[in-house]
Structure 1
Amino acid sequence: MLGEKMSLSHLVEYQKGAVVSKTLIDKSSGTVTLFAFDEGQGLSEHTAPYDAMVLVIEGLAEVKIEERLFKVEAGETIIMPANKPHALRAPTRFKMLLVMIKS
């Protein structure tokens, strides 16, 4: 995949009742992972030791950071700060790119 043009929305497909992920880059300095969330699926509240940027590619995501709820649509991004509790939920199916920079 390196050095090749690609369409992010076609690299991962929805699966009924599931969250599907595909890691595009996995380095000691960070990761880039593509996700497809079926309607009603999500990631439960957790923390991460690094800032994480979510870029919604398709659909609508609900992103909770601490006690604030954000609706993030296709083409929009949000940064989840390190060490702050956050969660994601799919009110409708959505795809996102997650970028975590560790250093």
Structure 2
Amino acid sequence: MNTTTSNSSFSTLLQDEIEYPKAGILSKVLVKDKNCQYTLFCLAKDTGLEEHTATRNAVITVIEGKGTLVLEGNAIALQPSTFVFMKANAPHALKAEENLAFVLALSESSQPN
């Protein structure tokens, strides 16, 4: 799979793109331009991301697996079809309870940080 820029059209079956590492995280940038980026994240079971922030708005769309997202102190169960919007600079952390695959969309915030 090749990363594409948004000035060209693109399609893929996300299920075909999923690859779980034996441990840790595998990420694949699907589409990227100056305003947005769409990345497929594949987390091995029991992998976590420590609390952090992002300077852009973010959307998580879960494809498969289960996990927990802690967003601004609130726990959100992640499972297939879960959709989460995170405003820029919102503190968040993540833990994969099973192998977990999701698309992360980053976009520019229309509000000053």
Flag structure 1 segments of 5+ consecutive residues without an equivalent.
none
Q: Which residue of 1 aligns with 2:71?
A: 65
Q: Which residue of 2 aligns with 1:6?
A: 12
Q: Aligned pair in 2 of structure 1 residues 4, 100: CA closer, same or farther (>3 Å)? A: closer
Q: Which residue of 1 aligns with 2:27?
A: 21
Matched pairs, number: 103
Compute the RMSD of aligned alpha carbons.
1.5
For 2:19, the aligned partner's letter is E
Which of the two has higher C-alpha Rg? 2
CA distance in 2 between partners of 1:4 and 1:32 (Å): 12
Q: Which residue of 2 aligns with 1:100?
A: 106
Instruction: Report the identity percentage.
Output: 31
Q: Aligned pair in 2 of structure 1 residues 3, 84: CA closer, same or farther (>3 Å)? A: closer
Q: Deviations over 1:67-90 (max 9, x none)?
A: 111002101111122111101110
Q: Which residue of 2 aligns with 1:34?
A: 40
Which structure has the highest strand share of the two? 1
Task: Give how far 1:41 is off.
Answer: 0.5
Q: Deviations over 1:43-95 (max 9, x none)?
A: 21101111100000001121111211100210111112211110111011110
> Which residue, 77, 80, 85 being the options, matches 1:74?
80
CA distance in 2 between partners of 1:33 and 1:17 (Å): 19
Q: Aligned pair in 2 of structure 1 residues 66, 4: CA closer, same or farther (>3 Å)? A: closer
